[in-house]
Each structure stands twice: as C-alpha cells, then as structure tokens.
Amino acid sequence: MKYRKLGADGPEVSAIGLGCMGMSIAYGVPDEEESQRTLDRALETGVTLLDTADAYGQGLNEELVGRWLRRHTGDRDRVVVATKFGLRHDAATGRVGDVDTSAVYVPVACRASLRRLGTDHIDVYYAHRRNPDTPVEETMGALSRLVDEGLVRHVGLSEVSADTLRRAHAIHPVSAVQVEYSLFTRNVVEGELLDTCRELGIAVVAYSPLGRGMLTGVLSSRDDLDPNDNRRRWPRFADDNIARNLALVQAVGNVAARIGCTPAQAALAWLLAQGDDIVPIPGTKRRRYLDENAGAVDLRLDPSDLALLREAVPEEAVAGERYPVQALERVGH
C-alpha cells in the first residue's frame, strides 16, 4: 500500500481508503460476517482510512465499525476512523429529514458517534452536509472545541462550496473535503473547489469513486440490482439512463483491457493520478473487491492512458443526475 496525507496538518492515510456504508445499508443485503472479514483484510492490506457516518443506517454502520474496533483494540492507532454528522432522520419515515450543523447539535452528535464506535476519539470528523441557515463559522467553532477537548483529531467538510470552505478554514484548519469524484462525476470537483483545496492545503477524499459500482463493469443491467438496492431510486440507474451509462463503462473497460487491469482499477488509478492530494474511498463489504481496489495503487498510467480514460466518459454523455432531487438540494452550500 502507498500513503498520502490528509491536508497540510492531517493524518497519513492509505492512498485508497474503505467506504463502510454498504456494509450496513443501500447496496443489497448486509453481511456482518463478511464485512468484519473485509475490515480484517483492510488492516492486513494496509488500508487504514475507514469511512462511516451516523446517518448510515441511523448509527448501524458506526456500530458495525465499533464492533470491529473492539476486536482490534491494540490496532486502534493503525487506522484512521472518519465519521460524519448533520443528517437527521425523520422518526416517522426513517429518511433524512433535515440537516443540523448547529453548535448545540455538534457535540451531541459527536458523543453519540463515540459511543457507537466504542472509541475515545474520532480521527476525522466531517460535517456531512451544511445547513445554509447555520453560519459555517458557528459549526466550525463547535468542531474546534471538540478538537480542544481531544474528542476529535481533525476536521473535515463534505459537499460544500469553495466559499464555504474558505470561511470554515479561517476559523479552524480543515484537513479534508469529502466530495463525489469519479470519471462519471468530475465538474463538482474540478475547477474552483479543487483549486481552493490546493491553495489552502486541503485534501480531497473522493467518495463514490466507482460511480456507485457502475464503473466496476460488474453490472449488465438494472435487473442485476437487488430489489432492495437503493440505486434503483437513483437517476443514473433508471431504465432510461442505465443503458447509456453502461456503454460508457464499456469504453472504460476497453481502455482497462489495453492497460491490463480491471475497469475498477483503471477508474481508481485515474483518480490517484489527478494529484497526491486525492484519496478515493471505494466502498465494499467483500474481500475480493477490497483486494481489487487496493491493487490500483500499483498501476502507473501514462499520459495517453489518462487521456483515453477521460475521453471514454465525456461528462455531457453521462445520463442522469448524480442524486435524486431531494438529496441534490443538500449539496454545494
């Protein structure tokens, strides 16, 4: 494994991390035993950045990671545990109801996450989304106090604007911005946000770097998705979009075959090549995919490979928004 730093003053982490959400929700049926073995394999492989959130299964995913941490108390300092707060669920529907980034809520959410994780500190604590009615200065002030208390080591933000990032960083150093970034989703990051991160010395943690599994090349149609898979509700997996997007995946697969790797490895290697400040966190609950993803760090793509991968997925050719309408309203503030 190779390693990168999260920002100027952040921790050193594996160049490819592990998104843990799918171990508990969203992508088919959970498998606790295989998920725990996948986390074991991550430690063996040198994958040190573990990413979760209190919103993933309303705390269930943090509890799953917490069970693993309790089995590995002697290894706590070998991993960087990142979690997020701010998305509150409606008790009646079970869905996200609102975003709370108030100074009152931040420490409450943090202590609840610490209990579920069974640890005395969170290595990287992100605001999952930003409530535009709450000044980011208020949120960062509360996060800074958690750092002073030793409950949080480093602070991050997720899916924010460049302006918000500047204002936040002026209050307390931001180590990382978590944002969707992949061959399928580039314009969210490339441009003002990435320029601002680099100016301020902030890392980009790229979630959904495989287009929520689309870029793995495993899917052949929407019918391959489990009936309870959340992607069935998402625009890029809709009946009128998925065929067009899978054609782009085939183009990526053609380039990957030329390189001598899998489509997933090509997509991850492309991201890694965008800069040493980019850290993808592909999610999986299976060891075989963890191994495949981790193998991308050993690929060396030449400029022609990088250009061919970008050309294989013209951004204007990707069919469908990256989120349903309600979720889109919560990003970019």
What structural domains does the chain harbor? 3-216+264-301 (3.20.20.100)
pLDDT at residue 53 tops 70: yes
Long-range contacts of the stretch 290-294 (C-beta < 8 A, 24+): 290/18, 290/38, 290/41, 290/42, 290/45, 290/47, 291/41, 291/45, 292/262, 292/264, 292/265, 293/16, 293/264, 293/265, 293/268, 294/1, 294/14, 294/16, 294/45, 294/46, 294/47
Whole-angstrom CA distances from 328 to 181, 204, 255 are 15, 20, 31
Kindly state the average pLDDT of the residues 297-322.
96
Kindly state the average pLDDT of the residues 313-329.
93
Kindly state the average pLDDT of the residues 89-113.
87
Long-range contacts of the stretch 296-299 (C-beta < 8 A, 24+): 296/16, 296/261, 296/264, 296/265, 296/266, 296/268, 296/269, 296/272, 297/1, 297/2, 297/15, 297/16, 297/269, 297/272, 299/259, 299/261, 299/265, 299/266, 299/269
pLDDT digits (tens, 9 = 90+) for 201-233: 999 999 999 999 999 999 988 989 988 888 998
For the question of residue 56 being annotated catalytic, the response is yes
Kindly state the average pLDDT of the residues 306-330.
94
Bridge partners (DSSP) of residue 180 are 207
pLDDT band at residue 93 under the 50/70/90 scheme: low
For residue 227, the model assigns a pLDDT of: 87
Out of 3, 27, 56, 181, the active site residue is: 56
For residue 92, the model assigns a pLDDT of: 64
For residue 96, the model assigns a pLDDT of: 75
For residue 106, the model assigns a pLDDT of: 98
pLDDT at residue 269 tops 90: yes
Kindly state the average pLDDT of the residues 105-133.
97
pLDDT at residue 2 tops 80: yes
